Structure 1
Amino acid sequence: MTDEEEEPLSPMARVFQSPDVDYCAVTIMGFKSKICLDVLLDALKHIVSKLPRFSTKLTENGAKWIEAKINVQDHVVVPYIDPEEIGEDGQGFVDDYISRLTMIPLDRSKPLWDMHILNVKTSDAEAVGVIRSHHSLGDGMSLISLMLACTHKTLDPQNTAIPSLKRRETVPHGLRKQGWFLRLRCTVRSIATLLWNTLVDMLLLLATVLFLKDTKTPLTGGEDAGRNRKRIYHRVISLDDIKLIKNAMNMTINDVLVGVTQAALSRYLSRLYVNEQGRNNEEEDGALTSYPNHFPDRLRFRVACAVNIRSGIGFKPLTDMMAKDSKCRWGNYFSFIILPLSIGLQTDPLVYLKLSKAMMARKKHSYHAALVYFIIKMVLMVFGIKAAATLFNEPVKNLTACVSNVVGPMDEISFRGHPIAYIAFSSYGHSQALLVHYISYAGKMMISLAVDPTIIPNLHKICDDMEQSLKAMKAALWERGLL
């Protein structure tokens, strides 16, 4: 691509380039061995030249991509690490380093990414690689496709580990055996419900843009949340346990994750509200025994949930995603929906799952996400980038948190002979004090929290509550003979 062949940014990429949004994605990879810098640099030289977004930079007005002469060494940072500075807590050193990165902007005079190599032993890795990439380069699905193109299965080096996704049936199996009149009546009813849900969702979105704000809680970010330093923390939980619950409750993995998030944040907030009242908040066998009525009346607690809007289902090879006619294109082809969480202590942990299943079923039967993307695109074309960024950012600012889930590789992968122990996704620049990202990898589910530490100083407690909530749900299903 030459200067005469400048390529315009996609609508969402333009929004992310706005100073009012300016999101940056962080990919953290733990390796099972120390990282050999020479091997890494040699591999990147061959890979980056084939990736248009990672070898192009922005024009001065930030509206188009142009080709850039890239020197890989300029994008790879290997800091000097004093062993005494690490001490006995390698994970703490890594967390501090990543936190400092959230305050250092990417250099806009060159392609908007960098990679930091930390040959530091942590509790679950021998070394850590941290990749920062501006969100305008691509969304989570794009970054996973890039990772798959650069790696191979550890046990089968000739093949990549491509996640498989299956689209759920939209027509119940039993309905297919019914007569044409009943099927027609159900179809008409389904369309009417779809239109009604979409209308309600768009009216609520408009209200959220204009005035409707969440109830202020100890998790609510301040005015400077988007500019404050973020702290990123991760925790591994069992993907098998999530699948057990999914099958027992006839849900999706997304439904289970929303239920677990709902339960964990209820536990966390309950503890804070009880402590504010000067009471002791005790736990017995992981179950809270505190006071459910200490939550504010009519608590409104909503999260923005990222939704992939590509028409193609599943992951595709990177070359296919780069093709112009692909149904699963590289870039930022996602939108968001607003999920109202039911925050409050429940004596039965399965209630959280039932609530999340009903809520997600209703949200899936709405054009909310697709319409938001379309409206932002139209506003950008007619009124310009500032109006489009405001339309995207204002509703997000009035919500309490953001949640995202990405399907990762099913098998363990390696990068040029370096086996990867874990993968964690996160981002910073958002207006919330709390972001929750989930990514599956090789039979595990990784929880990543990005928080404003001035608002949430004990972020590990939220992960503790997620683990306890998952255990309580599994135990409840065992007791009822549903597993």
Structure 2
Amino acid sequence: RFKAMIEDRLMAHERFRCRVAESALPLGRPSWEEDDQFTLRYHLRKVALAAPHDQEALQELVSDLMSTPLDRSRPLWQIHVVENYAHGTAVIIRIHHCIADGIALVRLLFSLTDEEPEETPVQRRGAGKTPKGSSRSLLGAAESLIDRGREVIINPDRLAELIQGGFGAAGVLTRLIQRPADPKTSFKGRVTITKKAAWTGPIPLEDVKAIGKTFGYTINDVLMTVAAGAMRSYLLGRGDQIEGEDVHAVVPVNIRPAEEMDKLGNRFGLVFVALPVGVAEPLERLRTVHRRMERLKKSPEAGVVFSVLQLLGLAKPELLALGVDFFGSKATLVLTNVPGPRKHLFMAGSRIRNMMFWVPQSAHMGLGISIFSYAGEVRIGVAADAALVPNPDSLVEHVHGEVQVLAEEARRAAAADG
């Protein structure tokens, strides 16, 4: 049943049958070509999880897969169906960023799900089109993604106005160029091919909302503050001197217009978010994050960076490498926050208990933090270079600690207000 669903929904998109073909011309760009040797058996695999079949074992498997490059002679995706995980099954989906950006992939993956366990109609393949059989769940996911009440990082409507108007573009580019490199911390250094993955247990979304409501801030403000506080605790534990310092997170921002939301490919900009890891007091960290996020919502930075990325994509490899190094020096990590569906979904008739994803690291950055909410719970994932962050579970533990600290501050504030 799972295989039939993949054949009828995922394979409806032609790109999943195509591989990347390098140009024979010196300045030519890569293109998509159909893989005439395509076999679903290579891309869809079944594996048994090692004992004791728990989260630690699954983290080891995810880490191994994350450390293994996809075969560039084939379409750049794989799905592993993992049996014997916590009395159930886990599904690990690997898709290269060249196929689509985060927003497009989220919509695509939600199209593999249903709102009811028996809602799995088979439909005719239609290359490049959203499969009809999943329209209800896809619509629900899309509504969740754009729901203003769930707080995304940037206001897309306002961002579009700023980009189209060219508002402050020159000033933004100047500030990006003049911005100093991020401070040297345990998160910065030479990256290797070996990665490690970890993720938190469930964090009740209502708890996060309650913290934000108490202090008049957004869910996103709270979660960004939690990430900053967890990083601070981890760095202090490694002996880093970080008082008064910021580290910058590169945050992908969707800039595709509404009529292109169902298309694959990449249409995203980047913003640089300064995380106040050098601020010791939790509420002051929260206030600082809020102020910075409010300023960022009025900035055209994502559109400016998108234009720069487009130009780099046309450049020679040497110039492209310089551009990647430039952006990498200005930041320490990639961070993204994706609001998911508010209720449980089903895949091939089975209920999806929880979901997690990891952002790809690039530009020599060895840390990625991904925040995902699903069915009333938030989980935060860490993908890290094994040489720089040998124990990502410690960072995950600090996440839970930071949530508890902010929750306690909220309880004190509520009690003081009577």
> What's the TM-score, normalizing by structure 1?
0.71
Q: Against the structure 1 CA distance between its residues 297 and 412, is the aligned structure 2 distance closer, same or farther, given a 3 Å change threshold?
A: closer
What is the SS of the residue equivalent to 2:238?
helix
1:417-474 deviation digits (Å, cap 9, x = unpaired): 1211111111445322221001111111111100122222221221222112112212
Which of residues 60, 75, 83 is equivalent to 1:111?
Answer: 75
Which of residues 410, 413, 417 is equivalent to 1:477?
Answer: 410
Q: Equivalent residue for 2:248?
A: 302
Task: Flag the structure with larger Rg.
Answer: 1
Deviates more, 1:389-398 or 1:419-428: 389-398
CA contact (8 A) 1:406 1:439 kept: yes
Which of residues 62, 68, 73 is equivalent to 2:41?
Answer: 73
Q: Against the structure 1 CA distance between its residues 333 and 418, is the aligned structure 2 distance closer, same or farther, given a 3 Å change threshold?
A: same
2:299 is aligned with 1:366? yes
* Structure 2, unaligned runs of 5 or more: 24-28, 121-135, 150-161
Q: Equivalent residue for 1:334?
A: 268
| Deviation at residue 327 of structure 1 after TM alignment | 5.5
Q: How many Å separate the matches in 2 of 1:60 and 1:401?
A: 29
Amino acid paired to 2:81: I
Which of residues 41, 53, 56 is equivalent to 1:92?
Answer: 56
Amino acid paired to 2:70: L
Q: How many Å separate the matches in 2 of 1:262 and 1:476?
A: 17
What is the SS of the residue equivalent to 1:332?
coil
Q: How many Å separate the matches in 2 of 1:396 and 1:260?
A: 23
Q: How many Å separate the matches in 1 of 2:219 and 2:118?
A: 27
Q: How many Å separate the matches in 2 of 1:107 and 1:141?
A: 24
What is the SS of the residue equivalent to 1:340?
strand
| Deviation at residue 296 of structure 1 after TM alignment | 4.3
CA RMSD of superposed structures (Å): 2.7
Q: Equivalent residue for 1:265?
A: 231
Q: Against the structure 1 CA distance between its residues 330 and 246, is the aligned structure 2 distance closer, same or farther, given a 3 Å change threshold?
A: farther
1:142-161 deviation digits (Å, cap 9, x = unpaired): 12111221111147848414
1:349-394 deviation digits (Å, cap 9, x = unpaired): 222211111001111111111011112213434x345534542442
Q: Equivalent residue for 1:395?
A: 327
| Deviation at residue 58 of structure 1 after TM alignment | 1.7
Q: Equivalent residue for 1:423?
A: 355
2:186 is aligned with 1:218? yes
Amino acid paired to 2:21: T
Q: How many Å separate the matches in 2 of 1:216 and 1:400?
A: 9
Q: Equivalent residue for 1:319?
A: none
Which of residues 344, 361, 378 is equivalent to 1:412?
Answer: 344
1:95-124 deviation digits (Å, cap 9, x = unpaired): 2222222332212222111111210223xx
* Structure 1, unaligned runs of 5 or more: 1-38, 169-189, 274-293, 313-324
What is the SS of the residue equivalent to 2:84?
coil
CA contact (8 A) 2:334 2:361 kept: no
Q: How many Å separate the matches in 2 of 1:480 and 1:432?
A: 38
What is the SS of the residue equivalent to 1:251?
coil
What is the SS of the residue equivalent to 1:331?
coil
What is the SS of the residue equivalent to 2:308?
helix
Q: How many Å separate the matches in 1 of 2:299 and 2:396?
A: 31
CA contact (8 A) 1:237 1:445 kept: yes
Q: How many Å separate the matches in 2 of 1:380 and 1:433?
A: 22
- 1:27-426 to 2 correspondences below 5 Å: 39-61=1-23, 63-69=30-36, 70-79=38-47, 86-88=50-52, 90-122=54-86, 126-154=88-116, 157=119, 159-160=136-137, 161-162=140-141, 163-164=143-144, 165-167=146-148, 199-208=170-179, 212-220=180-188, 222-223=189-190, 225=191, 227-235=192-200, 236-273=202-239, 295-296=241-242, 299-312=245-258, 326=260, 329-347=263-281, 349-381=282-314, 383-384=315-316, 386-388=318-320, 390-426=322-358
| Deviation at residue 219 of structure 1 after TM alignment | 2.1
Q: How many Å separate the matches in 2 of 1:406 and 1:340?
A: 19
Q: Against the structure 1 CA distance between its residues 338 and 150, is the aligned structure 2 distance closer, same or farther, given a 3 Å change threshold?
A: same
1:215-236 deviation digits (Å, cap 9, x = unpaired): 111222x22x1x4211111112
Count of residues paired in the alignment? 375
Identity %: 23
| Deviation at residue 248 of structure 1 after TM alignment | 3.0
Q: How many Å separate the matches in 2 of 1:94 and 1:139?
A: 25
What is the SS of the residue equivalent to 1:206?
helix
Q: Equivalent residue for 1:437?
A: 370
| Deviation at residue 475 of structure 1 after TM alignment | 1.8
Amino acid paired to 2:355: I
Q: How many Å separate the matches in 2 of 1:326 and 1:139?
A: 12
Q: Against the structure 1 CA distance between its residues 326 and 65, is the aligned structure 2 distance closer, same or farther, given a 3 Å change threshold?
A: same
CA contact (8 A) 1:260 1:352 kept: no
Amino acid paired to 1:47: R
CA contact (8 A) 1:376 1:392 kept: no
Q: Against the structure 1 CA distance between its residues 204 and 379, is the aligned structure 2 distance closer, same or farther, given a 3 Å change threshold?
A: same
CA contact (8 A) 1:57 1:109 kept: yes
- Where relative contact order (Cα < 8 A, 6+ residues apart) is larger, the structure is 1
What is the SS of the residue equivalent to 2:352?
strand
1:163-186 deviation digits (Å, cap 9, x = unpaired): 432458xxxxxxxxxxxxxxxxxx
Q: How many Å separate the matches in 2 of 1:475 and 1:449?
A: 25
Q: How many Å separate the matches in 1 of 2:412 and 2:196?
A: 38
Amino acid paired to 1:77: R
CA contact (8 A) 1:311 1:328 kept: no
| Deviation at residue 300 of structure 1 after TM alignment | 4.2
Q: How many Å separate the matches in 2 of 1:76 and 1:328?
A: 24
What is the SS of the residue equivalent to 2:232?
helix
Amino acid paired to 2:174: L
